Each structure stands twice: as C-alpha cells, then as structure tokens.
Amino acid sequence: MDDVELASGRAPVIEPGYTFGSVTDKISSIVLTRPTSNGWFVGFGLAFLITMMLLFALGYLFLKGIGIWGNNIPVGWAFDITNFVWWIGIGHAGTLISAILLLLRQSWRNSINRFAEAMTLFAVACAGLFPLVHTGRPWLAYWLVPYPNTMQYWPQFRSPLVWDVFAVSTYFTISLMFWFVGLIPDLATLRDRSENRWAQMIYGMLAMGWRGSARHWHRYETMYLLLAGLATPLVLSVHTVVSFDFAIGIVPGWHTTIFPPYFVAGAIYSGFAMVLMLAIPIRKLYGLEDFITDRHLQNSAKVMLATGWIVAYGYGIEAFMGWYSGNRYDSFLLWNRLHGPYAFFYWMLLFCNIGIPQVLWIRKLRTSTVGLFLISLVILVGMWLERFVIIVISLHRDFLTSSWGMYYPTRWDWMTFLGTIGMFLAAMFLFVRILPMISIFEMRTLLPEAEVKPE
Amino acid sequence: MKTTRIYGIMAEFDSASDLVAAARKTHEAGYRKIDAYSPFPVEELAEAIGFHTNRVARVTLIGGIAGGLTGYLMQYWMNAVNYPVVIGGKPPHSWPAFIPITFEMTILFGGISAVLGMLALNGLPMPYHPVFNVPRFAMATKDRFFLIVFSTDPQYSPTSTRQFLESLGPRSISEVLS
C-alpha cells in the first residue's frame, strides 16, 4: 500500500477480498486445525521455565520473608511496587483499545482488541502479585477486604492503599467480563466449527448456548456499549488511584497534582508499546497481516507519540516545580535525580521515553515492523525506569540526611521481576493457541457485505 | 410415527440484506413469534422482527446506583459509625476520601449488572436449544442467516407457513423438531 493511502488514514483495516466464511476460517483455523508448531512449544516451554523460576523465588520468599529482597528502610518500596505500577500500566492499553476506541467508533480496533484485552488480564494478574507478596504475609492479605471479623475492626478508607485494592480488583473483574462476553459469539463459532468432541463440549459450555438470535444481539450490543462506557472512566481512574498511592504521601517528588494525568498517559504509552511488541511477531508468525495491517501499526505509533509527549510534559512540570516551588527538598530531589547516585537511570529514562521515540515522526519508521518493535522495547524499558526513578530516588534520600540510604536489587528481586515476564508470556502463548486471538464476529462487521442494503 | 413436536420452521438466507428483508415481510404478514439468527449483530434485524427496546440499560442503571450507595454507606458506617478512628486529624465522616471507592463500586456493580442482566434476559446459559437440531444451523455462527417462525405463533400452520417462507426465496427450509 502506498504512503498517501496510509497518511490519509484510508488504508484498509482489513485487506480486500475476504468473505464472512474466509475470515471465520482464517482465524478459527489457528485454534482448531493448524498444527501446533515447534516454535510454539519452544516459546511456551521457555516461558514456562521462567514461570517456574518465579514460583521458586516466591516459595523461598514465603519461607524466609521479604528480607531476601534488597528493600530496606529508607527504601521500603522498590522493585515490587515498580513492577506493580509497570505491569498495571501495560494493562491499560487493552481497555483503552476495547472501550475508548469503541466509543469513538474507531473500527480499526476490531482486529487488535481481543488480544489487547487478554494482554490486559495477564498484565493485571502479574501486577496484582506484587503488592500481595510485598505485604510480607500474603496469607493475611484478605485483611485488606472489609469483612466482619473477630478483631471487630474495619479497613481505614482514608488510605489510598485501600482505594488501590478496590480499584485494581474492580479493574480486573471488569476487564475479565469485558473479554469474556466479547468471546461468547466466537466461542459459539468454535463450538460449531470444531470436529473434536472434547473441543465441542468445552467451547460449547463456554459459549453458554449462544445462537446469534436478533433479540440476543440487541441486548448484547446494549450491554457491550454500556460496559465500554463504564470501563472508560474506570481505566482512567485506576492509574489515577495508583498515582494517589504516591501523591497522597508527603515524600518529595510524590506530593504533586500532576501525577494522575501523567500516570494515565504513561500507562497508555507503555500499554501500546506492549501491544506492538506482541502484535508484530504474532501477525508475522500466524500470517495475519491482512487483518492487522500497517494502518494498525501506524495508528498505535501515533498514540505512542502523543502519549509520549504528555509524559514528557509531566517530566517537565516535575522539574519546573522542583525549582519554582522554592521548597528545598523538592529542589534537592531534582538535583539528586540529575546528579545523585541513581542519575544514570534518570538520564536513561529521558533518553528512552523522550529521546528515542521522536523517530516516530518519520513515517517510514512508523510502518517498519523491526523499527517499531525495537522502539516499543525501548519505551517499555523507559517506562519501567520511570517508576524506578519515582520510587527509589524519592525514597532513598528524603528529609533527614541521617536516614539516607541506598537500594540494590538482589537476585530474588530480579528473579521475581523476570519471572512475571515469563508468566505473562506463558499465558499469552496459551491464549493464542486455545482462543481466537482476533474477534471473529467484529471482523465480520467490517466486511462490505455486512452492510444491509435498503430495499 | 410422529412422536416429536414441531418447534418451528426455519428458512436459511445468504446475506444479511436478504434476512432483514425476509424478516420484515414475515412480520408484516402478521407473524409475531419469530426470531432471526445472524453471525454478527445486524442493527436492522431486531427492528424487523419487532423487537424495539430491551431492559439491559435499566438493569445496569439500577446496579450502578446500588453499587454507589453500597460503597459510600459501607465506608460511612465502618469508619464513622461502627468503629470511628481519627486519622490525620480528619473527621470520622471525611467524605472526600470516600469518593474513590464509591466510584469503583458504582462501576463494579454496574458492569456486573450489565453482563449478568444481558445473560439473564437472553436466557443464557442454555446449552441445549431446539434450533441446534437443524444440522445446517451450525453455519449460523459462520456465514449464514436464519429466520424461524415458531409453531406457537397463532398464524402458524405446517403447510401455509412453509409456503409463505418459500415465497421469500430462501436457500433452504427445514423443520425444527423440539
């Protein structure tokens, strides 16, 4: 496709020549008939091994306690909370793509929403793990939930940490339901297309007897739109509440009103980077270039460029307020970021999140798969560094010089962090193998023959 | 010989446009107990079979309001009535701090009501349904469109209804056994 077509945004979201049948066959055959490739087994096996490493690290953690990590006062939050915020930020792209782009009638979303939603679920699952194990006694984590108990007391609802429990669990529940109800019509397709008795039964039970009745579709469409309408403020609220964990505190660099919008923009930034890092290899390996076209990559790149600038504005305001507030702790924080012991990471963060992504202004790079993949990787690293900088640099030198300290991650920190990446990838591998990774029924609506001709 | 009851007569169409046209004509001919099946949502179809409004939005609204009230009253009762604790010099009923959870609970209950409301109103889960007895109906989740007149319709007659459906130019006609 030529550049003019791409630039005008008229490039197709689905290549011409497809029918309802061929779209259905192409997507469902990946699950039903296509033999599982050796590459899948190798990839899943590796991800599974890394997941086992995570379980090992967690097992040892439960045995010994969080002393095996590098966190210690003054740096009580370190890798765990960094990873929590990083993962939950990545999870934001799924709901953004499914809900907000649905409300904005961006039909190009139809081919990437399904696996972006799956990505959201797995990322939120990885995120949820960290605060849980960081409590130190995860078997008592249910104390965070208000329930009548023999101690006769209740959670303290003025604490942003309790808000976080509600925000993240609501987000996970709504994302799960959004993903699952989106799957129901496609599960019915798999039920009817499958030749294997077991597959028919399992997909059949999951599809709950969906038969595509006009009355059912009517209610379904209402429900889907309402759920999108509810998920849209939710997705913006979740990272806002996560940012409150910091902003409500009085630590220099945390106590700022720019945090909510800047966290949400950063979340979408890293989320789209993860979507691209998954979409680019998946569309290549499964030959789905006709459905996930250059237009999708181009649009995602533009979203990253826009949110990247919002994030850059956030960094700018942080630095400006460090100087303008006249607060000596805030201005010291700025100095400490630029020249302190962790200065390398701050400069790397600026390089990864503001510097490198500017090449996305070049149209050639926005459609180059290799280029986009690498830029997305850089952005994900940059966004991880952003959370590390916010958490560790602020904590390690706060108000009293006598309580300054340093944080160094231990091997257990690294194993837990890398382990969740393995768990995330293992879940993605299973997902593309057993469920349709592109929404089949929504792709059908994009075909010209789906239009009802007036009589 | 005939031990099974007829559930309805089903006609198969090739395109969404044909189905909508046929559904309209069937409705105009006075048939009311009818349904149409398509592999993707077709906006005009519900209208064509005379199904105009659904109650999902109402259920969602009620769920959302219930969630918001539950969230706020829960916090108020727990932190201001049952076990008041002074935190940061704030009053026990420090309502601004209760807003985030009230909001989240509104969304949570509203979302759950939307999904469960849709499933319940649709009568799902229902793994067995007579229409699945028609072998060709497996194509309804791929690329075929079906119209059914249920035998409970007052105008239904095994012969004239079949003739009527045949006049709509379907690809095939099948009897649905229950």
Q: Cis before residue A357, ω within 30 degrees of 0? A: no
Chain A residues closer than 8 Å to B116 by CB: none
Interface residue B82 vs chain A (CB under 8 A): yes
Under an 8 A CB cutoff, do A21 and B107 touch? no
d(CA A117, CA A54) in angstroms, rounded, equals 24
Q: Are A119 and A270 in contact (CB under 8 A)?
A: no
Under an 8 A CB cutoff, do A220 and B107 touch? no
d(CA A303, CA A108) in angstroms, rounded, equals 13
CA distance A167 to chain B (A): 6
CA distance B155 to chain A (A): 21
First-to-last C-alpha distance (Å) of chain A: 35
Q: Give the residue among A312, A316, A294, A293 at the shortest CA–CA distance from A304.
A: A312
| Model pLDDT for residues B64-96, shown as the tens digit of each residue | 999 999 999 999 999 999 988 888 888 989 999
The H or E element that residue A29 is part of is helix A20-32
- List the 96-135 stretch of B: residues with Cβ below 8 A of A: 97-98, 100-101, 103-105, 107-108, 110-112, 114-115, 117-119, 121-122, 124-129, 131-132
CA angle centred on A146, ends A140 and A149, rounded to 5°: 70
Q: Give the residue among B40, B3, B43, B7 at the shortest CA–CA distance from B23.
A: B43
Task: Please give the order of strands across the beta sheet that includes B6-13.
Answer: B34-37, B145-150, B6-13, B172-177
d(CA A150, CA B145) in angstroms, rounded, equals 59
Which one has a higher pLDDT value, B165 or A187? A187
Under an 8 A CB cutoff, do A208 and B127 touch? yes
Under an 8 A CB cutoff, do A163 and B49 touch? no
Q: What is the pTM of this model?
A: 0.90
pLDDT value of position A11: 63
d(CA B75, CA B93) in angstroms, rounded, equals 9
The 3-state DSSP class for residue A258 equals coil
- List the 5-44 stretch of B: residues with Cβ below 8 A of A: 15-17, 20-21, 23, 35-44
Residue among A215, A439, A451 with most chain B CBs within 10 A, to mutate: A215
Q: Which amino acid is at A65?
A: G
A188, A219, A223 member nearest B141 (Cβ): A188
Interface residue B137 vs chain A (CB under 8 A): yes
Residue of A nearest to B52 (CA): A218
Instruction: Please tell me the number of Cα atoms within 13 Å of B51 on its side-chain side.
Output: 22
CA distance A199 to chain B (A): 14
- Sorted by sequence, the CB contacts under 8 Å of residue B47 that are 6+ apart come out as none
A20, A153, A209 member nearest B124 (Cβ): A209
A163, A173, A220 member nearest B100 (Cβ): A163
Q: Count of CB contacts below 8 A, A vs B?
A: 210
Under an 8 A CB cutoff, do A173 and B111 touch? yes
A156, A166, A223 member nearest B118 (Cβ): A223
Radius of gyration in angstroms for the set of CA atoms belonging to chain B, rounded to a whole number? 25
The H or E element that residue A132 is part of is helix A113-134
Buried-state track A3-41, b at ≥16 Cβ within 10 A, e below 16: eeebeeeebebbeeebebeebbbbbbebbbeeeeeeebe
Under an 8 A CB cutoff, do B45 and A214 touch? yes
CA distance A150 to chain B (A): 13
- As to burial, measured by CB atoms within 10 angstroms (0-12 exposed, 13-18 middle, 19+ buried), residue A355 is middle
CA distance B171 to chain A (A): 16
Under an 8 A CB cutoff, do B79 and A158 touch? yes
- Sorted by sequence, the CB contacts under 8 Å of residue B38 that are 6+ apart come out as A212, A214, A217, B16, B19, B45, B140, B145, B146
Residue of A nearest to B23 (CA): A214
Chain A residues closer than 8 Å to B51 by CB: 214-215, 218
Under an 8 A CB cutoff, do A181 and B118 touch? yes
Chain B residues closer than 8 Å to A174 by CB: 107-108, 111
pLDDT value of position A2: 46
B15 Rama sector, left if φ>0, alpha if ψ -120 to 50, beta otherwise: beta
Under an 8 A CB cutoff, do B103 and A237 touch? yes
A146, A213, A222 member nearest B56 (Cβ): A222
Q: Give the residue among A442, A443, A117, A446 at the shortest CA–CA distance from A275.
A: A117
Chain B residues closer than 8 Å to A453 by CB: 17
| pLDDT tens per residue across all 455 residues of chain A | 444 454 445 567 778 888 888 888 888 888 888 888 888 999 999 999 999 999 999 999 999 998 999 998 899 899 999 999 999 999 888 888 888 888 888 878 888 888 889 999 999 999 999 999 998 888 988 888 898 888 888 898 988 989 999 999 999 999 999 999 999 999 999 998 888 889 889 998 999 989 889 899 999 999 999 999 999 999 889 989 999 999 988 888 898 889 999 899 999 999 999 999 999 998 888 888 888 888 888 889 999 999 999 999 999 999 998 899 889 999 999 999 999 999 999 999 999 999 999 999 998 888 889 999 999 999 999 999 999 999 999 999 989 999 999 999 999 999 999 999 999 999 999 999 889 988 888 888 888 878 777 76
| Model pLDDT for residues B113-134, shown as the tens digit of each residue | 999 999 999 988 888 888 888 8
Chain A residues closer than 8 Å to B127 by CB: 204-205, 208-209
